[in-house]
Every structure is written in C-alpha cells, then in structure tokens.
Structure 1
Amino acid sequence: MMNDTEFHKLVDHALMIIEEGIDESGADIESETTGNVLTLEFENRSQIVINRQEPLHELWLASKSGGYHFKYNNGEWHCTRSGEEFFALVKRECSVHAGETVDWS
C-alpha cells in the first residue's frame, strides 16, 4: 500500500503528463492547477476537472459525460468502475470536449 507522499508524487507526475500532452497536441485547451485540482477549459467553455482524493488515494475526473474515480495499480491509474486506463479516458474526454482528436505520445 502506498503512503501519502508516494500518492502525491504519482498524481503530480500524472498531471504533468496531461499538461505537457495537451501542449504537445496543439489543441486549444487551457489548463490551470489550483491546489489539488487541475481544470481543463475548452473553447466552448466546457471543462474537465481532475482532482486528487488523498484519503482514498484516488484521482477523480469530472466531465460532461460523468464522474470517474481512478486507483493506481500495477503501474497505471484505472477507473474503479470500468477498468479503463486514466490517460486513455482523459484523451477521449478532451477529444469530446474539444470537438477534435486530442492525442499525445
């Protein structure tokens, strides 16, 4: 089981990957981190909000398609309901909100 320090390092790394990936993608998405929350805002003013839930050691993502909870397991973040991998879901949700394919390596 991970401790809080490990959890925060993993989340910080995940959020950095998203911010760098969005820059790399060239999509018109604004990102802002405030405290434990990363907000992605799109041209149409819609948002995706990603925040860390320290007590549960989970990442939560909220978008117009719903709310998702992710746990870290075997080196990846996975949705606690669907099992979908975190970054795949972030890219899919960004693409839906942006109205164009948003992808990064």
Structure 2
Amino acid sequence: MCDCALLTVNELSLIEFKTNVKTQSDETLEQRCREASDQILHTINGIVRPKCNQMHIDIDKKVDIDAYIVFDNELVTGVQTIFQAIAMEVLEKNKLLLYVDNEKIFT
C-alpha cells in the first residue's frame, strides 16, 4: 500500500515516499523505484478501484488519477532515464501517470 493519497474534487494522487534511501547506487534507486511503483499499483488496483466498484463508482471517470514517487532530490539526478522508463512501463501497462518528483500542483 502506498504511503498516502491526496484527493480533491478533480484529482487523486497516490504518493510513495522513498526519502529514507541514502545510497547513490543506480541499481538500488531503480529497485526502490520499482518497489514504490508496485506499492502504488497495489493501492489503486487492489484497494481503491475494487472499493469504488463495490459502491458502483467508476473512479477513473470521476477524477484524474496520477502517482508520485518521492526521493531525496540529491540522489536522483543521474538516474532520470531509468525513472522515465519505469514511468513509461506503468503508463503502458496500467494507464497510470507516474512521476518521480517531489512537487505536485493541483488544478
């Protein structure tokens, strides 16, 4: 399950914090990013959508859904291409926008 979710009238953002990661190893950062994306996907596909479906609510039609993985900015400067590849996988397989960022602006 992801660390938190922020819900507004128009948006649902699922957030997984990985700010306790201290290594600068690209392999470890990639592994933590994949773990975080798995947690987010479990939250949306295993908890949020089924609970909404029980209430006859199509959450995907009600709000825009996205997800954020938050790392310490100093650690992630060299692995942006890895994070982009993971985000693209999540989008293609799950139709979910995934960002590795520490800032979200709600509309």
TM-score by length of 1: 0.35
- Greater helix percent: which structure? 2
Q: Report the structure number with the largest CA radius of gyration.
A: 2
If the length of structure 2 is used for normalisation, what is the TM-score?
A: 0.34
Ranked by relative contact order (alpha carbons within 8 Å, sequence separation 6 or more), the top structure is 2
More strand by share: 1
